[in-house]
Amino acid sequence: MDRFQTVLLFGAPGAGKGTQGAILGRIPGFFHLSCGEVFRSLDIHSELGSVFYEYSSKGELVPDEITVKMWAENMKAQTVLSLFKSHDDLLLLDGIPRNVKQAQLMEEYIDVLGVVHLVCKDKEAMIKRLRRRALKENRIDDAQEDVIRRRWEIYERETAPVLDYYPSDLIVEVDAVGSPASVLQHVLEEVVPIQDAHFNNPISGEHD
Ligand code: AMP
């Protein structure tokens, strides 16, 4: 199997990975997948759904092997259904890999062409953003302040080191503070050249 050509949307909880990914995923030639969303779509009474609930309700990460297996199976399903076309689409992953172990386990599946790091230095602003979103979207993990803080702690301890796992020339920083449109503008400046370099134009079929 060819590895999927991938860009990682990276950043702390509340940095806007999901917002940016969802917008980009509407553009032909990009396929966005949020690991957290896949988990949230599970039936809470299923075996995997209850494992997810057990960890996410405490702000903790689901164990690595289970997570990567679930992600790989989901990608396979998206491919079989032709929702994701690995030869045409640049894969935008959000929320995975979440630690170095996951990055290693995913090597066999993904070829990382770039990492867009959405940077927000104002932790308290992010925490406010998460609480607002939790109320709107009915998210158990971000409704309680202690769970949010636990998510940040885990981000700093386990997820941030993923940035050292990939070659530094693949990583670009984008300021996550600003309107979704202005952040999008900067993200596009990074991902469009990657798409142009690796894929045919999804409309004309030609390289630019
Ligand atoms: P997110 O929406 O990305 O913040 O994810 C919500 C929750 O899903 C996290 O707090 C974790 O419990 C779980 N989760 C999402 N992605 C991962 C991952 N890559 N590894 C482990 N747990 C994850």
Give the DSSP letter of residue 61: P
Q: What is the pTM of this model?
A: 0.93
Task: Report the DSSP beta bridge partners of residue 91.
Answer: 6, 31
Q: Please provide the CATH number assigned to the domain covering 4-198.
A: 3.40.50.300
Chain segment 20-36, per-residue pLDDT in tens: 999 999 999 999 999 99
Return the residue whose CA atom lies nearest to atom 5 of ligand 1. Answer: 36
Quote the tokens at residue 114.
Answer: 């770039």
Chain segment 66-118, per-residue pLDDT in tens: 999 999 999 999 999 999 999 999 999 999 999 999 999 999 999 999 999 99
Q: Output the pLDDT for position 203.
A: 80
Distance 83 CA to ligand 1 centre (A): 22
Strands (DSSP E) contained in 47-201 are 90-94, 110-119, 171-175
Strands 90-94 and 4-11: parallel
Higher pLDDT, 55 or 132: 55
Distance 109 CA to ligand 1 centre (A): 19
Ligand 1 contact via 21 beta carbon (within 6 Å): no
Q: Output the pLDDT for position 208.
A: 64
Of all atoms in ligand 1, which is nearest to the CA of residue 34?
Answer: 3
Of all atoms in ligand 1, which is nearest to the CA of residue 97?
Answer: 19
Confidence of residue 135 (pLDDT cuts 50, 70, 90): confident
The answer to whether the beta carbons of residues 72 and 132 sit under 8 Å apart is no
Ligand 1 contact via 67 beta carbon (within 6 Å): yes
Measure the CA–CA gap between 131 and 121, rounded to whole angstroms. 17
Return the residue whose CA atom lies nearest to atom 15 of ligand 1. Answer: 36
| Mean pLDDT estimate for the chain | 93
Integer CA distances (angstroms), 124 to 57, 73, 77, 129, 158, in order? 21, 36, 38, 9, 20
Ligand 1 contact via 55 beta carbon (within 6 Å): yes
Is the backbone peptide bond immediately before 167 cis, with ω within 30 degrees of 0?
no
Of all atoms in ligand 1, which is nearest to the CA of residue 63?
Answer: 21
Of all atoms in ligand 1, which is nearest to the CA of residue 55?
Answer: 12
Return the residue whose CA atom lies nearest to atom 6 of ligand 1. Answer: 36
Rounded mean pLDDT, 174-200: 95
Ligand 1 contact via 23 beta carbon (within 6 Å): no
Q: Is 167 helix (H, G, I), strand (E, B) or coil?
A: coil
The answer to whether the beta carbons of residues 39 and 56 sit under 8 Å apart is yes
Ligand 1 contact via 95 beta carbon (within 6 Å): yes
